[in-house]
Structure 1
Amino acid sequence: MDNNAKILVVDDEDRIRRLIRMYLEREGYEVHEAEDGEKGLELALENYYELILLDLMLPGIDGVEVCKQLRESKETPVIMLTAKGEESNRVEGFEVGTDDYIVKPFSPREVVLRVKALLRRSTTNKMANTDNSSKDVIEFPHLYIDNDAHKVSADGKDVGLTPKEYELLHFLAKAPNKVFDREQLLKEVWNYEFFGDLRTVDTHVKRLREKLSKVSEDAAKMIVTVWGVGYKFEVAND
């Protein structure tokens, strides 16, 4: 893992920014701060960050809008910081591309663990992209997943996915026609065993389908809802 990673913390509470910064700098990360959504978005667009910690409720532009505008040009991993009473807003955050969320009040150690987990996946992506001898590939008639490069294409066109969207698609595609319930997906893809909103899975599936459908309706239809149970990656038996 890259312990020199640059991380942006966007929160209007100075105390929270200082607390997160202290714990992340102890791990060797370079931390930048923004106190509102406008400044956070400006920094995120003008600079390269390996990860962004983004408060949901911000003065001016809120976290959902920041993430929405960021996703128009960048796939930087985002962890949303939310209060307990903001559940519906949290779901909206997932719909615009948030990769994970942490509920306030939180343990600083939990923040560090979540950051490390997301950065680990991003670092794997970078290392894979330097290797041209990709062999870990999943291929179907309308979908191609290169796991060495962490790239997805549908009907020959690239599909830009966030780290969590990619993980979800890859996990389902590794086991064609197998049904997974939401609890299984939360555990396997999000590593949530004792907490986690089941709608997290639903919003990511919805967003994943939307991104695939913009390129290939056939690829999007491969992610099938099994009503009352969960989801599966359906492959026709020709």
Structure 2
Amino acid sequence: MITILVVDDDKEIANLISLYLENDGYRVLRCGNGREALKLMEEQEVNLMVLDIMMPEVDGLEVCRRVREHSTLPILMLSAKAEDMDKVLGLMTGADDYMIKPFNPMEMSARIKSLLRRSFRYNTEGKATTRPDILQIHSLEINKITHTVTVNDSPLSLTSREFDILHLLANHPGRVFRADEIFQRVWKEDCYVANNTVMVHICNLREKLEKKLGYKLIQTVWGVGYRVEE
């Protein structure tokens, strides 16, 4: 059975979410703060997390950061604030989707089903359940050990930097990476020239991928960064 962890200090909202999810056939766990959620994650297997931002002790953004250090489980983040920066912060922290309170429970249910489908497809096709050295998104295969990329078994020639950027983005589908974050992770240097350097490499990488795939794999989130969508 699929297990969903609901983390919200508002008991009425947590109960409402849990009721709808249980009616959809999910097993639901509940926590009232971030510290309790992190502890529970160590003790039980969770398939998806519904996570409120504003909570006592450890807030939702910090929980998301810590979870992303060791897990790619889908995270749907909730907030009572509607400002765009809240959404940007949530997605940059590693959340997969975002909803503003008050929300339609039926819309939440639909979004959760979509996140679970994507997660299941990734886990059955990608590195999580098959070979840990290979990532696969549809016809694209990225081999970390041999440092090679193929599309429909046809090799794609990439530079070392292009490969590292692609592997970083593909290893976290849906997550938005800022240009300076990509620079730090790939070049492992200070990021004072990150924006132009990363932009050039992303443009070259995107052009090579589109010629082989026939569609745009790497998406630009304007004013934020880049992500790979399955």
* TM-score (norm: length of structure 1): 0.63
Partners in 1 of 2:20 and 2:151 — Cα distance?
A: 35
Partner of 2:227: none
Partner of 2:185: 214
Shift of 1:138: 5.3
Number of aligned residue pairs: give it.
183
Answer whether contact 1:10 1:17 (CA < 8 A) is retained.
yes
User: What is aligned with 1:24?
Assistant: 21
The answer to whether the 8 Å contact 2:73/2:119 transfers is no
**Equivalents in 2 of 1:91, 1:144: separation in Å?**
31
Instruction: Report the residue type matching 2:89 in the other structure.
Output: E
Give 1:85 shift.
Answer: 4.0
* 2:163 maps to which of 154, 168, 171: 154
Q: Distance in 1 between matches of 2:104 and 2:150?
A: 36
Aligned counterpart for 2:149 among listed residues 144, 147, 156 = 144
Does 1:88 pair with 2:59? no
CA distance in 2, matches of 1:53, 1:30: 13
1:122 lines up with 2:119 in the alignment? yes
Distance 1:137 1:212, change over 3 A: farther
Instruction: For 2:59 and 2:165, locate their aligned partners in 1 and report how far apart those are by CA, in whole Å.
Output: 36
In the TM superposition, residue 84 of structure 1 has moved relative to its aligned partner by 3.2
Deviation for aligned residue 1:212: 7.7
Cα RMSD (Å) of the superposition?
3.8
**Larger deviation: 90-99 or 50-59?**
90-99
Map 1:88-237 onto structure 2 (within 5 A).
Answer: 88-129=85-126, 136-137=139-140, 144=149, 154=163, 159=168, 161-165=171-175, 204-206=176-178, 210-211=181-182, 214-215=185-186, 221-224=200-203, 233-235=206-208
Shift of 1:44: 2.4
Q: Can you give the 5+ residue segments of structure 1 that lack an aligned partner in the other structure?
A: 148-152, 166-203, 226-231
The AA in structure 2 aligned to 1:49 is V
**1:131, CA displacement in angstroms?**
6.7
Separation in 2, partners of 1:31, 1:14: 14
Are the aligned partners of 1:222 and 1:235 in contact in 2 as well (CA < 8 Å)?
Answer: no
Q: In the superposition, relative to structure 1, how do residues 103 and 72 fare at CA in structure 2: closer, same or farther (>3 Å)?
A: same
TM-superposition CA deviations, 1:99-157 (whole Å, max 9, x none)? 1101100000011001000000111123325678x7822579x773789xxxxx93599
| TM-score, normalised via structure 2 length | 0.65
CA gap of 1:106–1:156, structure 2 versus 1, over 3 A, is closer
How far residue 158 of structure 1 moved from its aligned partner, in angstroms, is: 5.8
Unaligned runs of 5+ in 2: 153-161, 189-196, 212-230
Task: Give the drift of 1:223.
Answer: 2.3
